[in-house]
Amino acid sequence: MTNARPARTRPPQEGAGSPAPSGGRSWTRRGTRLTVLASATVLSLTALVIPAQAAAPSLSGPAGVQTQQYGQQPLDRAALRTSLDAVRTAGMYGIHSSVRNGSASWRGAAGLADVDTGRPMQPYFEHRIGSITKTFTAVAVLQQVQAGRIELDAPVGRYLPRLMDAERGRTVTVRMLLNHTSGIGDYVLPAFPGLIEDPGGTLEANRHRHIEPQELARLGLAVQPAAPRGSFAYSNTNYIIAGLLLEKVTGQDAEAYITRNVIRKAGLKHTYFPRTARIEGPHAKMYESMYGTIDPARDFSEYDMSWAGTAGALVSTTDDLNDFYRRLLSGKLLRPAELRAMKTTVPASDPAPDGEPPFHYGLGLYSLRMPDGTTYWGHDGGVFGAGTWALSTEDGKRQMAVAYNLMKYERFDDQNQPKPDPIGPALITYVTTALNAGHTPPTPRLSTPLPTPDTLLSPQQLLH
């Protein structure tokens, strides 16, 4: 995937029972490869080491001083444009982004919204934001903590006594749901039976299938957990249960509650839970490759998102995401005590060479230390064909949100090892440039493996 405009042919006729994707490899071999990926216990963000050629040129002076300087400088729009275009050149179909530094802002787009017609990507497009939905759901739960209707360290069984077995009902707390330490498995694979053997056919067959959240919770609770209770293990089931908890304590539909009390409170104009399988506003097609097993990559922008619900169904824009995280981190959506709780994290990655994990997960919000030593807050998300990443400084003044429309683009060799991939490093370079207002970032302090969204994810992690 190194061509600026990847070769593409029109996909076979869509619908249940569509023929297996072409590409020269047998489904048995592909299924084995995906099974190996699915059996691995991986973080929701898998580490990608930035190649030396992707590292920024060095700058003199302490990193802290340089970071402060970025906050005072205007945006370097030419550098932002160049680095965004480079992601497209690396092989991404289309990408769009919004960047802010104080009151200054920049929006850009590169590549194609539709690879068949050549329709260009636009910076204002709506996009499925996947697991960034979790931040919105967590804010809604914390509002109920503020109101005294939910206690973070109370057992979930107090509120939902018939949802899980008695032992889990007593020992799994609300906080454990929100920081993914509940020891509850992920529902995605059992919700899509056949996904390993025939990804393209399975996704087509379920395109308009509606799944109730209670069924998703049941499937997740029946899955063997990836880690014991008390340890971080990303699971979408946690946030489906959080939605059921919201419904129980508010007496309202969870998505309607989040819309009224989080989205509207934040003043967002283009963020919503879709009412149908279609996105309401202007948007790009969203292409899923599933590591080359769907070849050519197929558009899944039209999809019933009930399978994601309060864990990942939201549609938004990159401007709205920057608005949301700025208002959240500046204390406009939660009181100080609840915002502190949201930012109380657990380690969520292996330690870096200095012994400290670069990635920590809070309550629907994570912190990520970039190689220059600066820590940013936000979340990422991925659903079939759509990837999104939003990061901000802790005060919300310096921000970047980016959305792209080709997923699971990575390829693997015969030993199931990842092949060199130009898209990942180009994306990291853009994100680093954007977070530093388009200016050259400081020399990396450490050779730190950097978690990136949706990189080399197993099918267990399809939602995130």
Nearest to 379 by CA among 305, 314, 325: 325
**Three-state DSSP class for 244?**
helix
pLDDT at 441: 65
Q: Are 322 and 337 within 8 A, CB to CB?
A: no
CA separation for the pair 290, 298 (Å, rounded): 10
Is residue 327 classed exposed, middle or buried when 0-12, 13-18 and 19+ CB atoms within 10 A define those classes?
middle
Residue in 203, 182, 183 with CA at minimum distance from that of residue 192: 203
Q: Given phi > 0 = left and psi -120 to 50 = alpha, else beta, which region is 31? A: alpha
Contact assessment for residue 152 and residue 185, using Cβ atoms and an 8 Å cutoff: no
- pLDDT of 170 reads 97
CA-based Rg of the chain, rounded to a whole angstrom?
21
pLDDT number for residue 443: 54
Of 48, 100, 138, 56, give the one whose Cα is nearest residue 392: 100
| Low pLDDT (below 50) residues in the chain | 1-69, 445-464
Task: Tell which residue, 51, 57, 152, has the closest CA to residue 439.
Answer: 57
Contacts of 260 (CB under 8 A, 6+ apart): none
Query: For helices 237-250 and 133-146, what crossing angle results, to 10°?
Result: 40
Token representation of residue 50: 């930035």
Q: Distance between CA atoms of 245 and 19, rounded to whole angstroms?
A: 41
6: its two tokens: 């990847």
Model confidence, pTM: 0.85
**Model pLDDT for residues 221-259, shown as the tens digit of each residue:** 999 998 999 999 999 999 999 999 999 999 999 999 999
Collect all residues with Cβ–Cβ distance below 8 Å to 113 and sequence separation of at least 6.
94, 119, 120, 121, 122, 125, 283, 284, 285, 405
- H-type alpha helices, 301-363: 309-312, 318-329, 336-342
As to burial, measured by CB atoms within 10 angstroms (0-12 exposed, 13-18 middle, 19+ buried), residue 258 is buried
Work out the number of other CB atoms within 10 angstroms of the CB of residue 122: 15
Q: What is the pLDDT of residue 107?
A: 97
